[in-house]
Amino acid sequence: MSAADCPLPPRDGVHASCVVLPQEDWPSLLAYLRQRFAHVADSWQYKLAAGEVWDACGQPLAPTAPYRPGQRLWYFRSVDDEPVVPFDIDILYRDARLLVVDKPHFLACVPGGRHLRETVLTRLRRDPALAAASPIHRLDRETAGVMLFCLDPAARGAYQRLFEARAVYKCYEAIAPYRADLALPLQHRSRLQELPGGFVMREVAGEPNSDTLIELLQRRGDWAQYRLTPGSGKKHQLRAHLAALGIAIANDPWYPDFRNDKAAYDFSRPLALLARRIAFTDPIDGSERVFDSRRQLAWPDEASACA
């Protein structure tokens, strides 16, 4: 549902969420909401009693409200105990159409799951001048670096099509173990598939559906800095490729094996992966756009010394 359809103003950068009631028969609105959102079933009684669930006209609904198939409901999602990310977003560039940010590690791009207020999009939208910002692409929560947002809804589709057509140059930097027997540069191709149960990716037999150019930038003892240029855009592609080669990126909480939830929020050990550069020909005015991150990756021994 488009934010333009929402009858409610944002709250602290967070836009209201919408649910459309399916063509079903329920004894009451509350009964449906408790079943549909069973993981937070008890909260709906309180939301309705507090006037925190609204209809399409922005009128609050009562706990005794009837179930009306096809009705749109609006509400503000909440997340308990959301970890606060102690890093700032840096603005690299801004004009009437584009906003380019230097995303820090640990900050999710958009609200979802256990991330709501501690996301790049929510933080940006707290500024009324950036209320229309929408992401053109995304980075993993653990990854830092260059990320593009569109400020003009009419232009967003043109920029997104560039990514869909792979007409955008993207390169990353990573710090991972040094492997003397790995001949570089290497164009690594493989078939990536999400494991049953979700989230992590693994290489499997079959026709390759992903490729990454891996180049060595420098070496420091057992560690090396690599430039990674993806030719495809599979989920966790760079992390999965390096893990499959036996050089998993430093401080990765998911590859080669999941460590634990604490590792995913250990702010002293950021994933050593940075979206260094994005470049493309602007589809609106034909100008050449090149944006570079100003961030620097910490080598594992440096990160340990600062912890």
pLDDT of residue 19: 92
pLDDT of residue 183: 96
E-state strands within 161-266: 169-177, 186-194, 201-204, 210-220, 223-230
Determine if residue 289 is left, alpha or beta; phi over 0 gives left, psi from -120 to 50 gives alpha, anything else beta.
beta
pTM, whole model, 2 decimals? 0.84
**Which of 45-59, 93-107, 178-192, 277-291 has the weakest average pLDDT?**
45-59
Convert the pLDDT of each residue in 221-242 to its tens digit.
Answer: 999 999 999 999 999 999 999 9
Burial of 25 (0-12, 13-18, 19+ CB in 10 A): exposed
**Per-residue confidence at 48, pLDDT binned at 50, 70, 90?**
very high
Structural domains of the chain ordered from first start: 3-75 (no CATH), 90-306 (3.30.2350.10)
DSSP 79: -
pLDDT of residue 101: 98
Convert the pLDDT of each residue in 115-160 to its tens digit.
Answer: 788 999 999 999 999 989 999 999 999 999 999 999 999 999 999 9
